[in-house]
Structure 1
Amino acid sequence: MSSTAAQNDQLAPSSWILTEPYAGLQSQALGLAEAAGLAPIVRTLKARFPWNYVSAPRWPWPLHAVERQAISGSVPGIILSCGGMAGAVGSALRAPSTRLVHIQNPRMAFSKFDLIIVNKHDEVTGPNVIVTRTALHRVTPARLEEARARWAPVFAHLPRPLVAVSVGGTNGRFTLDATVARTLGQSLAGMMDQDRVGLMLTPSRRTDPAATAALRDALEPRGAYVWNGENENPYFGMLALADLIIVTIDSVSMVSEGAATAAPVMVAPLPGRSRRIGLFIDQLVSDGRIRHFQGRYEHWPVAPLDDTAAAAQDMRRRLGF
């Protein structure tokens, strides 16, 4: 560790990450924390009955609405909250000695937070708001280089060009069930047949097992690698090794992680609609960083796009550490 890094570690305040138990939320907060030189304790929130049936911004006593062990102990100097429940709880814990930084639009009065970090497609601004072009994440050149060395032997048998496919799942805006996955699988299989590409695919925690099975049935007979959910997820290795990354449209986080690499990114369509995600995708398409997947391999010159480090630096400057 360099003397500067050691000094930063000594100066960095104690910190928590408050989120619900969702990998996407925790990844954003961890990415910000790592880029800022923080070493946070991750506190996972769970709502108590009957507050699990009430929207968190409407809780009159947020600290009594969640399981107590998640917020026990000495409150740290900085809390990074991500998600609606975390915003409500974090605002209740905020004090002169505890600064609160919220990731995403909290859907609450911005005055309840010291800083708020949002994406451009959230369409909000303010004196305590930091705006990024993409979601925060943990993809860094160092992490990619480490993953490339580790996973290159595992995928060495696959032909080049090599395509990494990241699959999300059904949410309140898009649908990815077995029927949709079958169509996507056929499109990916057609690309393998026509463009002679190697393919590696990883589902997410949100992916319906029936959808994963449909993708496996379409792709594995052609020699594709489909992660079976056992042992370590090769996700970072896939990002590091890919000549092209394809991501389903439901996940701003996965598109942002792909865009932080040196590979082109294509977005696979799903039935459904989201105005916010549409704005996000349209901007990156306009900038030339991503394209829509239409069943064929494409490659074009791109540069990594990542605002996580800049957001972390701005946060440190504003909070004075």
Structure 2
Amino acid sequence: MHANPEPTVWVLTDGKAGDELQCLGVAERLAASPVIRRVAPRKPFAWLMPRGPIDPREAPDRPGSPLSRPFPDIAIASGRRAVAYLRALKKASNGATFTAFLKDPRTGPSAADLIWVAEHDRLRGDNVLVTPTAPHRLTQEKLAAARAAPPPFIAALPRPRVAVLVGGDSRHHRFTAPDIARLSGGLDALAASGANLMGSPSRRTQAPLAEAVAAVFARHGGWWWDGKGENPFLALLANADAILVTADSTNMLGEATATGKPVLVFEPSGGHPKITALIANLIRAGAAHPFRGQFDGSPYAPMDSTPVIADAIRRGWLRHRSELGLAGS
């Protein structure tokens, strides 16, 4: 008898970093060792997603299929190309696998047993869970450990410390020359007010943007990651008194609010109504503030949707086990 069984869990995506990160964040709250499965439909099947069908080469009975047996207790999927595969997995397992999908699948609530969306998405339904922020892999335990043992480059910076997390051009945003000048000027003003800067670029940060921000840090004695060695992302978040995030990354916004520290949002050119709505929700909650070249805001209760989503999936799976006659086994 197992009163609190640990499920086997798959993470099912096409390998896109943002989608896989969110799925792993939830999966790691459910199982010690989630299994990563990546789909790679060929054309024209990729063009038919999310409705499908899946690429026959990746059918469950084909060698090397991302849907090969043994099937999991729970499958957590995300991304347009994964929708049809999650449906195929449900059918191949004769309904035994409990399916969860993160973000709007664009095929309605029937795409999975449970669907998670953020507040700024429109999808609603009896099986749709809505939270303010997206899931991620941060935990309060990881943040506490990083806070207790800061690396030397952070320990050397006096407080208040501001972590600067810079993204880059995306599908909806562009960092124009005026945007770069505006961000640099705001950082100059922030540092001149007494804040100590520490930060890092992302994989999307283009050279002119990274160079301009690095120059500000150099002028004010801040610490800017040069891309060598271990990524300092966790250490930066854990040891900051405020966090500046560029609005091109909703994942970084969610991760920043999990710290409970004020989030300063810099918006480059472009945008999207959903991102605008997310930022507005965070501002109303008192977690985020438009970046004006100054330290704004105060600490608040950390906003972490990941355990909420994981708990909803676990409860749904346990109900599903009971319906299949597996409760207590």
TM-score (norm 1): 0.89
Pair 1:204-2:202 in alignment: yes
- Once the 2 structures are TM-superposed, how far is the Cα of residue 122 of structure 1 from its aligned partner? 0.5
Aligned to 2:267: 269
- Once the 2 structures are TM-superposed, how far is the Cα of residue 212 of structure 1 from its aligned partner? 1.6
Pair 1:108-2:101 in alignment: no
- Once the 2 structures are TM-superposed, how far is the Cα of residue 58 of structure 1 from its aligned partner? 4.3
Number of aligned residues: 312
Distance in 2 separating the partners of 1:177 and 1:270: 8
Pair 1:57-2:53 in alignment: no
Pair 1:35-2:29 in alignment: yes
Pair 1:88-2:78 in alignment: no
CA contact (8 A) 1:135 1:256 kept: yes
Cα deviation, 1:190-212, whole Å, max 9, x if unaligned, reads: 2112x121111112222223322
Aligned to 2:326: none
Q: Find the structure with the greater CA-based Rg.
A: 2
Distance in 1 separating the partners of 2:154 and 2:144: 15
CA contact (8 A) 2:74 2:100 kept: yes
CA contact (8 A) 2:286 2:297 kept: no
CA contact (8 A) 2:261 2:287 kept: no
Determine which structure has the larger helix proportion and give its number. 1
Distance in 1 separating the partners of 2:84 and 2:212: 39
Structure 2: give runs of 5+ residues left out of the alignment.
322-329
Return the match for 1:228 from 196, 221, 226. Answer: 226
- Once the 2 structures are TM-superposed, how far is the Cα of residue 141 of structure 1 from its aligned partner? 1.2
Distance in 2 separating the partners of 1:285 and 1:63: 46
Note the aligned Cα RMSD (angstroms).
2.3
The answer to which of 151-160 and 74-83 deviates more is 151-160
Structure 1: give runs of 5+ residues left out of the alignment.
1-5
Calculate percent identity across the aligned residue pairs.
36
Distance in 1 separating the partners of 2:303 and 2:263: 11
Cα deviation, 1:273-295, whole Å, max 9, x if unaligned, reads: 21111111111111212111111
Distance in 1 separating the partners of 2:17 and 2:207: 18
Local SS of the residue matching 1:36? coil
- Once the 2 structures are TM-superposed, how far is the Cα of residue 12 of structure 1 from its aligned partner? 1.8
- Once the 2 structures are TM-superposed, how far is the Cα of residue 178 of structure 1 from its aligned partner? 5.9
TM-score (norm 2): 0.87
Distance in 1 separating the partners of 2:75 and 2:166: 31
Aligned partner letter, 1:86: A
Q: Structure 1 residues 47, 190: closer, same or farther in 2, change over 3 A?
A: farther
Distance in 1 separating the partners of 2:153 and 2:122: 42
- Once the 2 structures are TM-superposed, how far is the Cα of residue 213 of structure 1 from its aligned partner? 2.2
